[in-house]
């Protein structure tokens, strides 16, 4: 049983813990539960929260083994330099659409991808990025080739964990 003295002690510890943790809460907000940094993107009037895959390991893992992707969430792959990029869906449970994006943030092409396949879905030109979203997301928002994506961090910027 807690006495008044013990209740004050518990309350003090509780307040102390949260007052010390509060300054770090904004830092945690830029990182997803899976350890990827998160960036805020804008495509026309549509806001997207995208996990950022920059390293080889992060790009290889991508959205593998995930069972769910929130409505306006995705994963942005940063290739580091312009490339002809291809994506596949090995060990991926969620049907996805991928937008291949040039260095200026312009969508070059969009491909739909089915779960658990090793079919390559490739960019139709040189790209610096790819954005994976739930399948059909781009079409439902009337976003297609030529659309501009704002907020893509430069490959030279250091953002959050894993950089």
* Cα(113)–Cα(96) distance, integer angstroms: 5
> Which strands make up the sheet holding 73-83, listed edge to edge?
107-113, 96-101, 127-134, 73-83, 46-53, 37-43, 149-150
Strand, helix or coil for residue 18:
helix
Percent of the chain with pLDDT over 90: 72
| Residue 76 structure tokens | 């942005």
Predicted TM-score of the model (pTM) = 0.77
Lowest mean pLDDT among 4-13, 115-124, 146-155: 4-13
129-154 as b/e: b if 16+ CB within 10 A: bbbbbbbebbeebebeeebebeebbe
Please check whether the domain covering 31-150 is classified as CATH 2.60.120.1140.
Answer: yes
Structure tokens at 156: 């030279």
Percent of the chain whose predicted confidence (pLDDT) is above 70: 74
Q: Which pairs with CB-CB distance under 8 Å and at least 24 residues apart come from 57-62?
A: 58/162, 62/87, 62/92, 62/132
**Which residues are CB-contacts of 3 (< 8 A; sequence separation ≥ 6)?**
none
- 162 or 141, greater pLDDT: 141
Give CA–CA dist 65/42, Å, rounded: 27
Bigger pLDDT: 22 vs 140: 140
Q: What is the mean pLDDT of residues 15-33?
A: 38
Provide the H-helix boundaries in the chain.
Answer: 4-28, 56-61, 137-140
Q: Looking at residue 30, what is its pLDDT?
A: 54
Predicted pLDDT of residue 35? 81
pLDDT in tens, 113-124: 999 999 999 999
* Closest to 130 measured CA to CA, from 58, 67, 28, 29: 58
**Lowest-confidence segment of 6-10, 15-19, 99-103, 120-124 by average pLDDT:** 15-19
Position with higher pLDDT, 40 vs 35: 40
Q: Is beta strand 73-83 parallel, antiparallel or unpaired with respect to 46-53?
A: parallel
Task: Output the average pLDDT for the chain.
Answer: 82
What's the confidence (pLDDT) of residue 155? 61
Q: What is the pLDDT of residues 86-112, one digit of tens each?
A: 999 999 999 999 999 999 999 999 999
Domain ranges of the chain: 1-26, 31-150
């Amino acid at each position: 049983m807690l006495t008044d003295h013990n209740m004050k002690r518990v309350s003090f510890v509780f307040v102390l813990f949260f007052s010390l943790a509060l300054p770090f809460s904004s830092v945690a907000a830029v990182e997803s539960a899976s350890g990827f940094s998160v960036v805020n993107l804008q495509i026309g009037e549509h806001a997207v929260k995208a996990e950022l895959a920059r390293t080889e390991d992060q790009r290889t893992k991508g959205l593998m083994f995930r069972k769910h992707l929130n409505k306006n969430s995705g994963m942005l792959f940063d290739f580091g330099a312009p490339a002809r990029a291809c994506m596949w869906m090995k060990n991926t449970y969620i049907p996805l659409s991928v937008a291949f994006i040039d260095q200026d943030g312009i969508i070059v092409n969009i491909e739909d991808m089915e779960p658990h396949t090793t079919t390559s879905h490739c960019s139709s030109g040189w790209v610096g990025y790819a954005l994976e979203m739930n399948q059909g997301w781009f079409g439902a928002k009337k976003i297609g080739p030529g659309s501009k994506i704002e907020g893509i961090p430069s490959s030279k910027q250091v953002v959050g964990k894993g950089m």
